């Protein structure tokens, strides 16, 4: 049999990360590798009640085929959530997706022709890169600092790339860096999008998980021409296993998304939609989210204390105000893939940061997830990583040099 | 703002069918339009117990992110189902999808380059045509008779179209015609696929709903070279709202499907997967399916009796041995879209058959769904359609001519 795959299938390679993520299933292993919410916080008992109510009150409808755009009461609750972050929206502007990953993928499919350019943060969300790659898009990265994507660099990229279709941004507690785009830059991003006539894909799954600092309205709040497509999800505030996300965008876009989703998977699990909607009627989800934030804040604080206590001095990191991730920069010549493999041998998993770069990888970076591990195990895991880093630095004298890695960096000494 | 959509988005037009399907929500309307299973048969009480058990026994795992390929115990149960239809399969050959619609869409994305040809039955499943269209494929139709796709015609099409990527077939109780591919033709299809080096996409959601006649092994049973990709679903035997389907194919294909699904939606709802798996542990799904078959057989029989009683004589139809649909051919010059709109005015919905043709539409055809309506309402709805047909035939003398419409046809007289 000759090769039958389409050309686009060639970008579908098993990722480096798979090995590390799969290892995460060994019980003796402490994993900071995934992007998993804390499972101990899932509202199991409340879901039992919600499930019983949905099946009793609307069983047949919850199990039957249903509308592609999603269950109206859930979409209405999403409108309320959007209003709370200063985005007015109508029902015709909201479509439910099978997780926000599907929203990312549908966006690629709806807007990207071969040769189109996506401008994204450097680094950015790995699974978005993978989805967009199947549409033969070009990636152009924009450097970040502590306030997120640098606007002067963004404008330069827009000038250089007339075939830019959209700017892809994760403004709040970005994956993988944990950085947040500043208020001024959000306004500036909209000005630039308007001037250069490009769309903005705002991927905002973490915005509700702010545990310190002051909330900033989403980029879409500043949208004057309906060119921001806003994505979010119940995965981080409720339960990722149910695969519920949403798109909020102008009706002209949503109509096309609906037609595309219809041929992609008909509709998102109607039982999961009703279950989530019922849960929100029977419980105060804000109280639940407050609980998540308190736990994540404590875990993040513990992890930062551990970096300061156990890691060598010539390491810099970003202190996030929310979300799930800490981003660590090792000395410039250090290869974090090697470190990650050595960590794995010592029963602790981390993700080498190189995977998160669409174009030129900074291979001295590491992403650490703090949401999915208890404080006690965070301490133990960080101690193990610290030992690996100290050993590695001692054995490789080329790494002992003074570097500056931005605001958060510490001058090296080792 | 300039038009931002990708070229492929131009195929995403709201379909004729939407109007009719949306109308299906009016309570006074009797709808034979959708492809909906009978909601009164959904096992609500058993699902309450299964939901309670899943949340009690494995709540956190069921709500957390999980493996893209699907929940292992459910995949094992699928292997058992595959074995029962004479297809041996291993775990590495099964991937769970978000309904078999997603399997169809992923197949298009994995295998179709621009300009590739798909050979399909004429007519065929509308939502598959729509999914494949977004990959710029060409459709080549093959005529059917009462034994399904005609193999001489298929071979001719294979000869004429060297860029054929796959044959798309729904062998059992095809949507929309209700026809079943004969045993001999299944063997012949494999011979031709081997000779012309093309894949076969076997879409088999209805096979388990056989209510008369003798079961025939799936096309994949005769596959000697691993070139048949078999799709099926829990939608027709359990609950479509949960969106659970599967792909059974060689491991080399499944690995690429997994990578593609990961970037498409990460994984299918893990709670729905465990719910279905738990249901199958706590209940005999075969008993449930037997019940579905008995009800559908009665409804199909009633609908056929109504055609004979209420419809004009110059109408032919296919008598299915299973599935959800009856296919009706009106006299050649009659426009079923006009009939469908007139039916809608009389509070009965049908789907004009023209929509199911990928290429050249036969506009004198109608698809009737019998699974979703009680026998009493089937009688009332068919009476209404009969009146519309009689009136239409009386008013348009051009239609009164003698035609032959194949084996099942009756010579016209009116």
DSSP A134-177: TTT-EEEEEEEETTEE-HHHHHHHHHH-TTEEEEEE--SS-TTT
Does A12 touch chain B if contact means CB atoms closer than 8 Å?
yes
Mean pLDDT value across chain A? 92
Q: Looking at residue A396, what is its pLDDT?
A: 65
The verdict on domain A44-282 having CATH code 3.40.640.10 is: yes
Higher pLDDT, B24 or A153: A153
The verdict on domain B7-42+287-399 having CATH code 2.60.120.1060 is: no
pLDDT per residue over A292-325, tens digit each?
999 999 999 999 999 999 999 999 999 999 999 9
The CA distance from B409 to the nearest CA of chain A, in Å, is: 34
Q: Looking at residue A409, what is its pLDDT?
A: 32
Q: Check A99 against B265: CB less than 8 A apart.
A: yes
Q: Check A259 against B110: CB less than 8 A apart.
A: no
Does B113 touch chain A if contact means CB atoms closer than 8 Å?
yes
d(CA B280, CA B275): 9
Q: Looking at residue B408, what is its pLDDT?
A: 35
C-alpha count within 13 angstroms, C-beta hemisphere, residue A133: 18
Instruction: Reply yes or no on whether the pLDDT at A155 is more than 60.
Output: yes
- The end-to-end CA distance of chain A, in Å, is 58
d(CA B171, CA B154): 14
> Hey, which residues 124-153 in chain A have their CB within 8 Å of chain B?
127, 130-131, 134-135
pLDDT per residue over A196-247, tens digit each?
999 999 999 999 999 999 999 999 999 999 999 999 999 999 999 999 999 9
Q: Check B269 against A241: CB less than 8 A apart.
A: yes
Mean pLDDT value across chain B? 92
Question: Looking up tokens 């999808």, which residue turns up?
Answer: B97
Does B25 touch chain A if contact means CB atoms closer than 8 Å?
no
Instruction: Reply yes or no on whether the pLDDT at A398 is more than 90.
Output: no
Q: Looking at residue B403, what is its pLDDT?
A: 37
Question: What average pLDDT does range A39-55 have in this prediction?
Answer: 98
Strands lying side by side in the sheet with B164-169: B94-97, B245-248, B228-233, B199-203, B164-169, B117-122, B138-145, B148-149
The CA distance from A395 to the nearest CA of chain B, in Å, is: 38
For residue A249, give both structure tokens.
Answer: 């965008």
Q: Classify domain A10-42+287-399 by CATH number.
A: 3.90.1150.10
Structural domain boundaries in chain A = 10-42+287-399, 44-282
Does B386 touch chain A if contact means CB atoms closer than 8 Å?
no
Q: Check A59 against B36: CB less than 8 A apart.
A: no
Residue A360 banded pLDDT, cuts 50, 70, 90: confident
Spell out, as residue ranges, where chain B has pLDDT lower than 70.
14-25, 396-414
Q: Check B12 against A40: CB less than 8 A apart.
A: no
For residue A404, give both structure tokens.
Answer: 């500056």
d(CA B264, CA B258): 10
Tell me which residue in B66, B225, B265 faces A1 most closely, judged by beta carbons: B225
Q: Check B265 against A101: CB less than 8 A apart.
A: yes
pLDDT per residue over A3-36, tens digit each?
999 998 888 876 666 666 666 567 889 999 989 9
d(CA B200, CA B180): 16
Q: Is the pTM of this model over 0.90?
A: yes
Instruction: Reply yes or no on whether the pLDDT at A115 is more than 80.
Output: yes
Instruction: Reply yes or no on whether the pLDDT at A405 is more than 60.
Output: no
Q: Looking at residue B15, what is its pLDDT?
A: 62
pLDDT per residue over A343-355, tens digit each?
999 999 999 999 8
């Amino acid at each position: 049999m000759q090769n039958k795959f389409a050309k686009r299938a060639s970008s579908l390679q098993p990722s480096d990360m798979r090995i590390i993520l799969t290892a995460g299933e060994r019980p003796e292993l402490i994993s900071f590798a995934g992007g998993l919410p804390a499972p101990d916080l899932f509202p199991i008992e409340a879901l039992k009640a919600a499930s019983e109510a949905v099946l009793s009150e609307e069983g047949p409808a919850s199990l039957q085929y249903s509308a592609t755009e999603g269950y109206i009461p859930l979409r209405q609750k999403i409108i309320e959530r959007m209003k709370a972050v200063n985005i007015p929206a109508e029902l015709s502007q909201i479509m439910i997706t099978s997780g926000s990953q599907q929203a990312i993928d549908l966006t690629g499919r709806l807007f990207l022709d071969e040769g189109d350019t996506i401008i994204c943060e450097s680094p950015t969300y790995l699974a978005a890169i993978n989805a967009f790659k199947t549409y033969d898009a070009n990636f152009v990265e924009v450097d970040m600092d502590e306030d997120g994507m640098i606007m002067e660099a963004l404008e330069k990229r827009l000038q250089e790339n007339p075939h830019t279709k959209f700017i892809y941004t994760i403004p709040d507690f970005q994956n993988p860096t944990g950085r947040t785009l500043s208020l001024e830059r959000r306004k500036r991003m909209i000005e630039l999008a308007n001037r250069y006539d490009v769309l903005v894909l705002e991927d905002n799954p973490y915005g509700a998980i702010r545990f310190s600092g002051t909330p900033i309205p989403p980029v879409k709040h500043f949208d004057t021409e309906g060119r921001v497509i806003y994505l979010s999800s119940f995965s981080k505030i409720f339960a990722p296993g149910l695969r519920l996300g949403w798109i909020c965008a102008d009706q002209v876009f949503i109509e096309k998304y609906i037609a595309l989703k219809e041929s992609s998977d008909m509709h998102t699990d109607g039982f999961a939609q009703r279950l989530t909607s019922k849960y929100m009627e029977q419980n105060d989800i804000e109280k639940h989210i407050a609980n998540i934030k308190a736990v994540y804040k404590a875990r993040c604080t513990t992890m930062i204390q551990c970096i300061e206590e156990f890691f060598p001095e010539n390491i810099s990191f970003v202190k996030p105000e929310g979300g799930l991730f800490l981003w660590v920069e090792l000395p410039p010549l250090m290869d974090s893939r090697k470190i990650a493999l050595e960590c794995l041998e010592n029963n602790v998993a981390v993700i080498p940061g190189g995977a998160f770069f669409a174009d030129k990888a900074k291979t001295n970076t590491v992403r650490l997830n703090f949401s999915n591990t208890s404080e006690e195990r965070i301490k133990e895991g960080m101690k193990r990583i610290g030992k690996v880093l100290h050993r590695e630095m001692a054995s490789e004298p080329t790494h002992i040099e003074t570097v500056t890695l931005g605001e958060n960096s510490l001058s090296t000494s080792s």
